[in-house]
């Protein structure tokens, strides 16, 4: 009987250890931020007003999934919320990072007019103080919408005092182009950033935008 109890105890310990090891492959993280203006691909999504944003991410080895949300303002009374759901696979091959995934943009009260999805593929390369990135987003056609494709390239540099400098340029097919220059500084779980963002509309210059955006983010 003692040997049976010992065997059961050892089996239970081994099972718990295995479960703990497996569960350690899964990580959950969350983020929150307050920004002076929610700007997406160069265009304000909050009518040049402040936004509160947050999300939760689940990672299992190289797989990930998450949800993110923000208040929005499209100068009408139809909707005030954006919720994004995404999933993908991110890893590294020969020192080059890659990210493949899909994202669904959801506006609860404007489903037929605004909801759309994209599939995306990104590449990145990091050196000690310099980084390069590129990303292509393919709009997924539905019965209600045929979203345009978007591509973006970027670079980042680590400056003295742990200050980061980043710049990017993007082109939204048949909509417009944008570029961004951003400075950021991290303090443990906090991140402060200031960005200048410029948007040039392809056909309507009255829709061009220039914004200076300050953001404070917190991750946990």
pLDDT at 97: 98
Q: Does residue 6 belong to any structural domain of this protein?
A: no
In this predicted structure, what is the pLDDT of residue 36? 98
Q: What is the CATH number of the domain that holds 154?
A: 2.40.160.160
Q: Single out the residue of 167, 90, 80 nearest to residue 132, CA to CA.
A: 167
Domain-located, residue 17:
no
Q: How much is the pTM? A: 0.87
CA 115 – CA 105 distance, rounded (Å): 6
pLDDT of residue 15: 47
State how far the Cα of 28 lies from the Cα of 71, in Å rounded to an integer: 23
- pLDDT in single tens digits along all 220 residues of the chain: 434 344 444 444 444 444 444 557 899 999 999 999 999 999 999 999 999 999 999 999 999 999 999 999 998 877 899 999 999 999 999 999 999 999 999 998 877 778 999 999 999 999 999 999 999 999 999 878 899 999 999 999 999 999 999 999 999 999 999 999 999 999 989 999 999 999 999 999 999 999 999 999 999 9
Do the domain assignments include residue 4?
no
Domain containing 136: what range?
27-219
Given this model, what pLDDT does residue 23 score?
54
Decide if 77 is inside a domain. yes
Q: Does residue 51 belong to any structural domain of this protein?
A: yes
Strands (DSSP E) along 107-175, which ranges?
Answer: 116-126, 130-140, 150-159, 163-172
Q: What are phi and psi of 12, to 5 degrees?
A: -65, -45
Residue 15 falls within a domain, yes or no?
Answer: no
Distance CA 144, CA 137 (A): 19
Query: What is the pLDDT at residue 112?
Result: 72
Total of domains in the chain:
1
Three-class DSSP category at 52: strand
With residue 6 as reference, give the H or E element that holds it: helix 2-23
Mode of pairing for the β-strands spanning 26-35 and 96-106: unpaired
14 found inside a domain: no
- Is 55 within the bounds of a domain? yes
């Amino acid at each position: 009987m003692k040997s049976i109890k010992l065997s059961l105890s050892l089996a239970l310990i081994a099972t718990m250890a295995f479960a703990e090891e497996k569960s350690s492959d899964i990580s959950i993280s969350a983020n929150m931020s307050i920004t002076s203006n929610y700007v997406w691909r160069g265009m304000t999504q909050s009518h040049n007003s402040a936004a509160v944003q947050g999300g939760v991410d689940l990672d299992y080895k190289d797989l990930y999934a998450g949800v993110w949300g923000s208040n929005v303002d499209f100068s009408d009374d139809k909707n005030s919320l954006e919720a994004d759901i995404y999933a993908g696979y991110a890893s590294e091959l020969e020192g080059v990072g890659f990210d493949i995934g899909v994202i669904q943009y959801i506006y609860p009260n404007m489903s037929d007019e605004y909801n759309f999805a994209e599939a995306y593929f990104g590449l990145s390369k990091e050196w000690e103080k310099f980084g390069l990135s590129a990303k292509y987003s393919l709009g997924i056609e539905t019965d209600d919408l045929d979203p345009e494709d978007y591509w973006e390239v970027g670079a980042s540099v680590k400056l003295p005092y742990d200050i980061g400098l980043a710049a990017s340029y993007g082109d939204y097919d048949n909509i417009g182009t944008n570029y961004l220059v951003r400075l950021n500084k991290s303090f443990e779980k906090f991140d402060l950033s200031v960005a200048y963002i410029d948007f040039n509309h392809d056909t309507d210059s009255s829709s061009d935008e220039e914004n200076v955006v300050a953001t404070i983010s917190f991750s946990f």
